[in-house]
Structures are given as structure tokens and as C-alpha cells.
């Protein structure tokens, strides 16, 4: 149905257009109006939570204006759009971000003050939107910010989980998971009850003839679940562009609520159908870098990609263009293999619904998709049992088999001598049971495949996708090193540092062109500048120290060196190496005379991060950290020389407080395991130095900032395999200092020793897969260097300033421009 307002009536509409608020009075008026009307509260009943709600609604009104215009502009210009498919968007808080991106934070601050509130308290009321596990989901959120800021016509597509990543509580040193119900009040989404798609599961496929006598596949029967769209406006910085993030929520299809059953008194089972449908979008799987192969997970994946593709195809069809123009109008980026079924679904739509021939359809499909790989860890590479897909998506399995057949035929033709290659590259793994290799399907169905840092992109080409490089050629494979948005990770998280930088680089332009940071090099030797820089870092540390006191009741000295490792807990990220190093430090301090101790650099070791609920070893690591803290923090011999802190429930908003307060942060994965890492970039951008291995983006950070400004240690990725081989087949003596640490743990210094047997024997008896012992000595030596260098504060600060000045490369704006040019072939839209 044509729903647009006829031309003669449009003037009446435009005359009433809401013009936003330009000053604090107008902002106040909007807040008061929302408190009194939308929230139905009054001056006598307005707490911080109501003030937060009303402020958000006031800003939302402004966002919506830009959003409507952006959508209209995209439609009228009929420009090519990029669709970013990600099962995770770790957005964090929206109000602060909206205020800054719209350039109205000052207005809001003054307005709220007049109304009797402190802006920090109001912003702090917001519940994080935590629809992600870690780096992968936060990257997607940074990309949305950059795509809007750079005026690219872009849409994000994801799932609207009722429960985001669980809330972590620490009880008696153990992680306990609590559900995160975040939707109580969410002013940042718009339900679109009129935008729904029915998604089919199960059923069977039969062959039939169409009117031209052509054989066609008919997929019928099974069950239907409805996808409902929820739209989240995502504003760019200093631009009217506001893009859309569309999240799908599942509900029972209208026919599914079985009135027959209901009327016959079987109320329970009719409600059960409804609940089963809603389960699809109920919860985010809390695993990072791990594939668990659960049926509900693949249901989520198909539900989300099928709804998104229906939407994308519907929008394309409105333009009445021919199908071969599809890739000129549509680019779809697959964030990891999670959306790989989109490749199969588009092929199905083109051949089964639109009647295209296989080859023509397949050309369109492969020209449309790009695939980003984020890991080489074998346990994270998705595989699905053939039988499961057969049952759930019978037509898709047929198409996967056909894709594989045609692909293998072409390989066989080109490499007739190499019989083994077919087994190696087949999308179907001939195992028991047979499995669909999603990464291979993603490679075969995309025109570009990228890794997320140089080392990682090299590794995927020489290991997991080696044969595919031979088959498709090198040009199909590329690198786009990750980046972060400086708006959230500098301006929002560290406003005073952002202001200081602005005062030296000619205003806030650097937030749009991060390479302008290089102007800071001119001020490295400027004493006053260095002093201001140091004061800001100290203030950020004081704030964190207060938070530690208020949550853990531990006093930490803000003058001590703050050494931070915050990220998901994972053996490959090696928090165990860090805590073993901390224990070694403790033992060393204990063995010193009081005089010697006085000469040591005081430290606070800060940890934070969630363990996947089923990841037992990761939970043991958290337990050990807490137990070590329990002993060290009480020890009168040690005092301020060492404190060990585990911050509960690490998330985006906590990161915004922790990162600006770090002097040193740890990025110490076993070489070759961390694809990129992005918190390494955030820490350096906030004036902290890093200790790290030659892994992921650490390598490029070193190249940009200079190796004199980073503390690198440990095995190189090219040596890892040989070492592992030696551990398995040769001698593997444990590093003597590490052995002392193990003795202390097993002697009961940190509680029941048996609790930590598995952690120790992974290193001592089971091959030390993550090379903790091999890297231990160089790790503690490097920490000694850190201590020495930290004593010379003037030089330390100079290093920090120089590093920040050289971080321009790591903006997600650079990254998005590289995707746009090299993969999506898409231009920004003039505003």
C-alpha cells in the first residue's frame, strides 16, 4: 500500500517539523515535557532514573530527525548500501555518545545542572547494551560509529537478544553468572511491528515443474517463526548522518498460536509454542572464540540472516533494477562465519523464488559478499553436522551440496594431479558425523576474504586457507587491520585528555582525522604540557582508586604503577601468565629486607573479564587471581608495594573508566593466537604503555609508535610450532622461577592447592600448549624493565605522548575507508 502523504498536504507537515534544541533552555523544556507527559511524573517525583529517561527521550527526538533524513537521502539517491551482518553489537551506553556525536553535551550539562542533576550521575544511570562477548562485537559497534561519521549508506543487522552477555558476580572468589535483562526501559530502539518476516524451519523439499517445464524445488511444511524489526538509530559524529541498526526479535507466527488447542483446554501447549518461538532471540551465546555447535545457535543464525536478506532484497526490488545490478547496489559483509548461511539463502532466493539460473545467481552471490575472519583457533572455527542442517534447513543443505559439487569440479579440473586437494578443501568434512565447514563456505561464496591484522591475515593465508589461496589466487585475500572509534575511546572516555589534545592540535578536528595527533610530537619536550598530561592521568587513576575502594574496600595508592589486563578470560590470552608473574613478584618482595623493599616500584595489578560459563579452566584462573588478592592485599610486609584487584563484571562502560587510568596494560597472548586485539589500541590512545607479545595488532602498534615505546617479550609466532613439538616429544623442563611459583601455590599459600592443579599441570604435565613456561623468564625480565623505566616519570610521560601522537592509523575510520574502497566499492553520500 502506498503510504506517502500526497503532495498538496506535505506543506502542512513540514511546517510542524520539530527543530531540536539549540540551547539549554530548549533542552530543559524537552526534558520537563518528557518527564511530565511521556513518563507521567512530576517535579515531586523525579529521581535520577527519570531524569535519565527524559534526557534520553529528548536526545532520541533529535536523533530521529537526522535518521529520517538519512534514510530518505539514501532512498532518493538510490545509492549502493553496505549491510554489516553481525551476531554481536557491543554498543555500551548510548546517551553520552548521542550527546557528544550531536555536539550537545555542554548544553545538556548546563541544562541538567539547572534542573538539579549532575550529568555524570544521569549518564551513569544507563544500562549497557551488551549484545556481544568481546572484541568482535565491540568492533562492530566501532564500525557503525565510523560508517555514520563518514556518511556511508550503511545498515547493521543483528539479533535483539532479550538477555545480553550475563552479569558477572564474584562470590567467595568464584565467578557466578546472573542474567542481564536489559530491556526494562530502552528508549534507543523503535519497535517496527509493521516490519515482520516469516521464517521457515524444518519441513521437506519436493521437486516440481514450473509453467515452462523447468524443474523447481519446493520447500514446504515445517514451522514458521516471525521476525519483528527493532530499529536503533546510530548517529555519526559532527554530521547529520544517522544510520540504522536493525535488530530482529522472534515471536510466534500469527497462525502458530493454536486456537484449536487453546479452545480445547490445552492452554499450556499453545503457550509453549509461543515460548519456543521467542526462545530464538532470547539469549546471546556467551562464548568468545569457541564454537559449541548447539542447535538453537544455528537457528538463531538462520532466523537472523533470512530476515535480513528478505529486507535487503525487498529494498533492492523497489528500485526495479535487473538482478545483475544487485552487486552494484548491495554489499554484504559477513562478520565472522556466523552469518555464512546468508550466502546459501541468497542463492536460494535467486534460484527458487526469483527463477534465475544457477550460474547467474551464483555470480551475483559471490560478487555481493565479503567475509571477515577473526580467528585461526581451531576450537573457534564453526562446523555444523550435516544431519542437523538436513533436518532444520533441508533445501539449504541441497544448495550447499550443489555449491560444493560445482566448486570441487572446478578444482579437479585445475588440479587433476592432486587427488588429496578435494578432501582438504571440500565444504563437507567427511568425518563421523559429516560436518559443514562454515569458513570454507564463506570463502567460496565471497569475493574478498580479510583478516584483521597483518600477522593474522598472513597466517590465514598460510594455514587454514592455504589451499584456497592456490585455488582463487592471492587477490581474493586481503588485510584490514582493526581500528577503534576515537569518539568513544578518547573523547567520551577521557574528556580531559581529549580537551588537552584539542588545545594543541587546533581543535577537535583530530576526532575526524586521527592522524592529526602527530602534531603532539611538537610538545613532547614542553614541560607544562607534560605536567598537564600527567595530572590528567593521575586524576583518572584517582577515580579508579575510588571505585576500587567503593566496590572492593581495598585501598590502592594512585601513585603506584597501575598494571591492567582486562579482556575475556581465555588460556590463549594468558591471564595465568600474568597472575603467575604477580605471585613471583610477591615471593620476591617477601624475600627482601625492609630496606631493599623500599627501593621497589609500587604496583597495582588490575584484572577484569568474564569467563564463558562452561569454561572451567578460565574460571579457575579468576579464582586464583582473587585468592592471590586475598593474601597479598592483607600482607603488612607488602603494604602499597603490591595490590591485586579483580574488577567484577567488566563491560564497555567500565572499560571507559579503567582504560584511561592505566599506566601499563597487558596484551600477552601466545604468539599467533590473538587475531588482532583492539583494547591494545584503546590503552595506547589513552596515554598508557603496553607490555605485549609479537602478536596481532601489537606488531603494527610497535611499527607505528616505535619499539622504544613498547615492552615486547616472548616467543615469535614462527617458533611456536617447534616449541610445541618439543614439549610433546622432547624434554620440557619448567622455568625455575615458575617452578617456585607452582610450589607456593601447591604449598597452600593461596588457599586449597587442589583447586589449581589443572592450571599447573596444563603447563607442567600436558605440553604447555600456550608456552607459559617458555615465555616466563622474558616476561618477568621485561616487567623489571618497566619498573626501572617508570621511575623516570619525565621520560615515561614523553613516551606516552609520543605513542599517542603516532596512533592515527588505528582509527576505525581508516579501517572503514579501506573496506569501502577495497571490498565494498562504495562511496560516502554527500550531506
CB of 380 to ligand RUG, least distance (A): 4
Stretch that binds ligand RUG, among 5-13, 501-509, 547-555, 673-681 (CB under 6 A): 673-681
DSSP bridge pairs for 250: 227
CB of 287 to ligand RUG, least distance (A): 9
Q: Are the C-beta atoms of 80 and 826 separated by less than 8 Å?
A: yes
| Residue 665 makes contact with ligand RUG by CB under 6 A | no
Taking the least distance from each CB to ligand RUG, the nearer of 453 and 638 is: 453
Taking the least distance from each CB to ligand RUG, the nearer of 381 and 554 is: 381
Among 370, 445, 609, 677, binds ligand RUG (CB under 6 A): 677
| Residue 674 makes contact with ligand RUG by CB under 6 A | yes
Q: Are the C-beta atoms of 668 and 770 separated by less than 8 Å?
A: no
Among 394, 696, 808, 828, binds ligand RUG (CB under 6 A): 696
CB of 664 to ligand RUG, least distance (A): 20
DSSP 493-523: T-HHHHHHHHHHHTSGGGGT-GGGGGGGGGG
- Sequence-ordered strand ranges (E) for 152-262: 154-159, 167-171, 174-178, 190-201, 204-209, 215-220, 223-235, 242-252
Q: Is the dihedral of CA 736, 740, 745, 747 positive or negative?
A: positive
| Residue 700 makes contact with ligand RUG by CB under 6 A | no
Among 70, 151, 368, 678, binds ligand RUG (CB under 6 A): 678
Stretch that binds ligand RUG, among 346-354, 373-381, 407-415, 799-807 (CB under 6 A): 373-381
CB of 675 to ligand RUG, least distance (A): 4
Taking the least distance from each CB to ligand RUG, the nearer of 270 and 482 is: 482
Stretch that binds ligand RUG, among 15-23, 351-359, 372-380, 457-465 (CB under 6 A): 372-380
- Lookup: cell for 353: 523464488
Question: What separation in angstroms does the CA of 328 have from each of 322, 323, 371?
Answer: 11, 10, 18
CB of 129 to ligand RUG, least distance (A): 18
Stretch that binds ligand RUG, among 210-218, 431-439, 464-472, 672-680 (CB under 6 A): 672-680
Stretch that binds ligand RUG, among 199-207, 553-561, 675-683, 730-738 (CB under 6 A): 675-683
Instruction: Give the residue carrying C-alpha cell 542442517.
Output: 389
Taking the least distance from each CB to ligand RUG, the nearer of 173 and 609 is: 609
Helix-, strand-, coil-residue percentages of the chain, each rounded to 5: 55, 15, 30
Per CB under 6 A, contacts with ligand RUG among 118-157 are 134-136, 139
Q: Where are the alpha helices (DSSP H) in 250-393?
A: 259-263, 267-279, 295-318, 326-329, 341-348, 358-368, 386-392
Q: Which of 374, 447, 491, 530 is catalytic?
A: 374
| Residue 701 makes contact with ligand RUG by CB under 6 A | no
Q: Are the C-beta atoms of 818 and 701 separated by less than 8 Å?
A: no
CB of 426 to ligand RUG, least distance (A): 22
Per CB under 6 A, contacts with ligand RUG among 457-496 are 482
Instruction: Give the residue carrying C-alpha cell 568464584.
Output: 174
CB of 482 to ligand RUG, least distance (A): 5
Catalytic residue check, 318: no
Q: Rounded to an integer, what distance in angstroms lies between the CA atom of residue 476 and that of residue 463?
A: 16
Q: Which of 34, 682, 799, 806 is catalytic?
A: 682
Per CB under 6 A, contacts with ligand RUG among 329-358 are 336
Rounded to 5°, the CA angle 493-286-376 comes to 90
Which residue of this chain has its Cβ atom nearest to ligand RUG in the complex?
Answer: 135
Instruction: Give the residue carrying C-alpha cell 569518539.
Output: 487
Q: Rounded to an integer, what distance in angstroms lies between the CA atom of residue 44 and that of residue 322?
A: 61
Query: What residues contact residue 756 under an 8 Å CB cut-off, 6+ apart?
Result: 620, 623, 624, 745, 746, 750
**Which H or E run includes 712?**
strand 711-712
Taking the least distance from each CB to ligand RUG, the nearer of 62 and 374 is: 374
Q: Which of 541, 573, 667, 764 is catalytic?
A: 573
Q: Which of 338, 568, 570, 643 is catalytic?
A: 568
Catalytic residue check, 570: no
| Residue 676 makes contact with ligand RUG by CB under 6 A | yes
Per CB under 6 A, contacts with ligand RUG among 273-332 are 288-289
Q: Rounded to an integer, what distance in angstroms lies between the CA atom of residue 795 and that of residue 770?
A: 34
Query: What residues contact residue 346 under an 8 Å CB cut-off, 6+ apart?
Result: 309, 313, 364, 365, 368, 369
DSSP bridge pairs for 242: 235
Question: What separation in angstroms does the CA of 181 have from each of 185, 187, 282, 283, 642?
Answer: 10, 15, 10, 10, 37
Catalytic residue check, 682: yes
Binding-site size, ligand RUG (CB under 6 A): 18
CB of 306 to ligand RUG, least distance (A): 21
Taking the least distance from each CB to ligand RUG, the nearer of 89 and 510 is: 89
Catalytic residue check, 567: yes
Q: Rounded to an integer, what distance in angstroms lies between the CA atom of residue 509 and that of residue 516?
A: 8
Taking the least distance from each CB to ligand RUG, the nearer of 288 and 663 is: 288
Taking the least distance from each CB to ligand RUG, the nearer of 452 and 744 is: 452
Would strands 242-252 and 223-235 be described as parallel, antiparallel, or unpaired?
A: antiparallel
Catalytic residue check, 568: yes
Taking the least distance from each CB to ligand RUG, the nearer of 189 and 695 is: 695
Q: Which of 246, 348, 541, 567 is catalytic?
A: 567
Stretch that binds ligand RUG, among 325-333, 470-478, 492-500, 674-682 (CB under 6 A): 674-682
Taking the least distance from each CB to ligand RUG, the nearer of 562 and 810 is: 810
| Residue 566 makes contact with ligand RUG by CB under 6 A | no
CB of 681 to ligand RUG, least distance (A): 9
| Residue 643 makes contact with ligand RUG by CB under 6 A | no
Q: Rounded to an integer, what distance in angstroms lies between the CA atom of residue 538 and that of residue 102?
A: 29
CB of 275 to ligand RUG, least distance (A): 29
CB of 258 to ligand RUG, least distance (A): 38
Taking the least distance from each CB to ligand RUG, the nearer of 380 and 759 is: 380
| Residue 375 makes contact with ligand RUG by CB under 6 A | yes
Among 365, 380, 641, 816, binds ligand RUG (CB under 6 A): 380
Instruction: Give the residue carrying C-alpha cell 546459501.
Output: 344
Taking the least distance from each CB to ligand RUG, the nearer of 30 and 291 is: 291
Instruction: Give the residue carrying C-alpha cell 610486609.
Output: 637
Cis peptide before 729 (omega within 30 of 0): no
Nearest Cα neighbor of 243 from 18, 16, 79, 13 is: 79
At 176, is the secondary structure helix, strand, or coil?
A: strand
Question: What separation in angstroms does the CA of 730 have from each of 385, 545, 722, 723, 767?
Answer: 37, 47, 11, 10, 10
Q: Are the C-beta atoms of 813 and 150 separated by less than 8 Å?
A: yes
- Lookup: cell for 619: 574460571
Taking the least distance from each CB to ligand RUG, the nearer of 173 and 677 is: 677
Q: Rounded to an integer, what distance in angstroms lies between the CA atom of residue 183 and that of residue 190?
A: 12
Per CB under 6 A, contacts with ligand RUG among 193-252 are none
Question: What separation in angstroms does the CA of 104 have from each of 8, 93, 94, 589?
Answer: 35, 16, 14, 51
CB of 765 to ligand RUG, least distance (A): 27
| Residue 374 makes contact with ligand RUG by CB under 6 A | yes
Per CB under 6 A, contacts with ligand RUG among 421-460 are 452
Catalytic residue check, 537: no
Stretch that binds ligand RUG, among 46-54, 301-309, 620-628, 669-677 (CB under 6 A): 669-677
| Residues near ligand RUG, by CB under 6 A | 134-136, 139, 288-289, 336, 374-375, 380, 452, 482, 674-678, 696
Which residues are annotated as catalytic? 374, 567-568, 573, 678, 682
Amino acid at each position: 500500500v502506498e503510504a506517502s502523504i500526497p503532495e498538496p498536504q506535505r506543506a502542512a507537515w513540514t511546517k510542524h517539523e520539530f527543530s531540536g534544541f539549540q540551547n539549554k533552555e530548549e533542552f530543559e523544556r524537552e526534558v520537563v515535557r518528557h518527564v511530565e507527559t511521556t513518563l507521567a511524573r512530576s517535579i515531586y517525583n523525579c529521581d535520577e532514573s527519570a531524569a535519565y529517561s527524559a534526557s534520553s527521550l529528548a536526545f532520541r527526538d533529535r536523533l530521529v530527525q537526522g535518521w529520517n533524513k538519512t534514510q530518505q537521502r539514501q532512498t532518493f539517491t538510490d545509492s549502493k548500501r553496505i549491510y554489516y551482518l553481525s551476531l554481536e553489537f557491543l554498543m555500551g551506553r548510548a546517551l553520552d555518545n548521542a550527546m557528544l556525536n550531536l555536539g550537545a553535551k555542554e548544553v545538556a550539562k548546563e541544562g541538567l545542572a539547572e534542573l538539579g542533576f549532575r550529568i555524570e550521575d544521569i549518564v551513569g544511570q544507563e544500562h549497557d547494551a551488551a549484545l556481544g562477548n568481546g572484541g568482535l562485537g565491540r568492533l562492530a559497534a566501532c564500525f557503525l560509529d565510523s560508517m555514520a561519521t563518514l556518511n556511508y549508506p550503511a545498515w547493521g543487522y543483528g539479533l535483539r537478544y532479550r538477555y545480553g552477555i550475563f552479569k558477572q558476580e564474584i562470590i567467595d572468589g568464584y565467578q557466578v553468572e546472573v542474567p542481564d535483562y536489559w530491556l526494562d526501559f530502552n528508549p534507543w530502539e523503535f519497535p517496527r511491528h509493521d516490519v515482520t518476516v516469516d521464517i521457515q524451519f524444518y519441513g521437506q523439499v519436493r521437486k516440481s515443474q514450473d509453467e515452462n517445464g523447468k524443474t523447481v524445488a519446493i520447500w514446504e511444511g515445517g514451522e514458521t517463526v516471525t521476525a519483528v524489526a527493532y530499529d536503533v538509530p546510530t548517529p555519526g559524529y559532527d554530521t547529520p548522518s544517522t544510520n540504522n541498526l536493525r535488530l530482529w526479535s522472534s515471536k510466534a507466527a500469527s497462525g502458530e498460536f493454536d486456537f484449536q488447542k487453546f479452545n480445547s483446554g490445552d492452554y499450556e501447549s499453545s503457550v509453549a509454542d509461543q515460548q519456543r518461538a521467542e526462545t530464538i532471540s532470547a539469549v546471546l551465546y556467551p562464548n568468545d572464540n569457541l564454537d559449541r555447535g548447539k542447535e538453537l545457535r544455528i537457528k538463531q543464525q538462520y532466523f537472523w540472516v533470512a530476515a535480513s536478506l528478505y529486507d535487503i532484497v525487498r529494498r533492492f526490488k523497489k528500485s526495479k533494477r535487473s538482478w545483475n545490478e544487485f552487486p552494484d547496489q548491495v554489499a554484504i559483509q559477513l562478520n565472522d562465519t556466523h552469518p555464512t548461511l546468508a550466502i546459501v539463502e541468497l542463492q536460494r532466493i535467486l534460484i527458487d523464488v526469483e527463477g534465475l539460473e544457477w550460474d547467474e545467481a551464483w555470480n551475483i552471490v559471490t560478487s555481493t559478499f565479503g567475509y571477515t575472519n577473526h580467528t585461526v583457533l581451531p576450537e573457534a572455527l564453526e562446523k555444523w553436522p550435516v544431519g542437523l542442517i538436513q533436518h532444520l534447513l533441508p533445501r539449504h543443505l541441497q544448495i550447499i551440496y550443489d555449491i560444493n559439487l560445482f566448486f570441487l569440479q572446478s578444482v579437479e579440473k585445475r588440479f587433476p594431479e592432486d587427488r588429496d586437494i578435494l578432501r582438504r578443501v571440500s565444504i563437507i568434512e567427511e568425518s563421523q558425523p559429516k560436518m559443514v565447514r562454515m569458513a570454507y563456505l564463506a570463502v567460496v561464496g565471497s569475493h574478498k576474504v580479510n583478516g584483521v591484522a597483518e600477522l593474522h591475515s598472513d597466517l590465514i593465508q598460510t594455514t587454514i586457507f592455504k589451499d584456497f589461496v592456490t585455488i582463487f589466487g592471492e587477490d581474493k585475500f586481503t588485510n584490514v587491520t582493526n581500528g577503534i572509534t576515537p569518539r568513544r575511546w578518547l573523547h567520551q572516555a577521557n574528556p580531559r585528555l581529549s580537551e588537552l589534545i584539542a588545545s594543541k592540535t587546533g581543535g577537535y578536528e583530530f576526532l575526524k582525522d586521527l592522524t592529526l595527533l602527530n602534531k603532539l610530537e611538537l610538545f613532547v619536550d614542553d614541560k607544562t604540557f607534560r605536567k598537564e598530561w600527567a595530572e590528567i592521568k593521575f586524576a583518572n587513576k584517582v577515580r579508579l582508586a575510588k571505585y576500587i575502594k567503593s566496590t572492593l574496600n581495598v585501598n590502592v595508592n594512585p601513585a603506584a604503577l597501575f598494571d591492567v589486563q582486562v579482556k575475556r578470560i581465555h588460556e590463549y590470552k594468558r591471564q595465568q601468565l600474568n597472575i603467575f608473574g604477580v605471585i613471583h613478584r610477591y615471593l620476591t618482595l617477601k624475600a627482601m629486607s625492609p630496606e631493599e623493599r623500599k627501593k621497589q616500584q609500587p604496583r597495582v595489578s588490575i584484572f577484569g573479564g568474564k569467563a564463558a560459563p562452561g569454561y572451567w579452566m578460565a574460571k579457575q584462573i579468576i579464582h586464583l587471581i582473587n585468592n592471590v588478592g586475598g593474601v597479598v592485599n592483607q600482607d603488612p610486609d607488602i603494604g602499597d608495594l603490591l595490590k591485586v584487584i579483580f574488577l567484577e563484571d567488566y563491560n564497555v562502560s567500565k572499560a571507559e573508566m579503567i582504560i584511561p587510568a592505566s599506566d601499563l596494560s597487558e596484551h600477552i597472548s601466545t604468539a599467533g593466537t590473538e587475531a588482532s586485539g583492539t583494547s591494545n589500541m584503546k590503552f595506547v590512545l589513552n596515554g598508557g604503555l603496553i607490555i605485549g607479545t609479537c602478536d596481532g595488532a601489537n606488531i603494527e602498534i610497535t611499527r607505528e609508535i616505535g619499539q622504544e615505546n613498547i615492552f615486547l617479550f616472548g616467543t615469535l609466532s614462527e617458533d611456536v610450532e617447534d616449541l610445541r613439538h618439543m614439549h610433546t616429544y622432547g624434554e620440557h623442563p619448567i622455568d625455575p622461577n615458575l617452578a617456585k611459583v607452582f610450589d607456593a601455590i601447591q604449598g597452600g599459600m593461596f588457599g586449597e592447592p587442589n583447586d589449581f592443579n589443572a592450571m599447573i599441570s596444563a603447563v607442567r604435565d600436558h605440553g604447555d600448549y600456550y608456552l607459559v613456561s617458555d615465555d616466563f623468564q622474558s616476561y618477568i625480565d621485561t616487567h623489571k624493565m618497566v619498573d626501572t623505566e617508570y621511575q623516570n616519570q619525565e621520560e615515561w610521560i614523553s613516551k606516552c605522548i609520543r605513542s599517542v601522537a603516532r596512533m592515527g592509523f588505528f582509527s576505525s575510520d581508516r579501517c572503514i575507508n579501506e573496506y569501502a574502497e577495497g571490498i565494498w566499492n562504495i562511496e560516502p553520500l554527500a550531506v
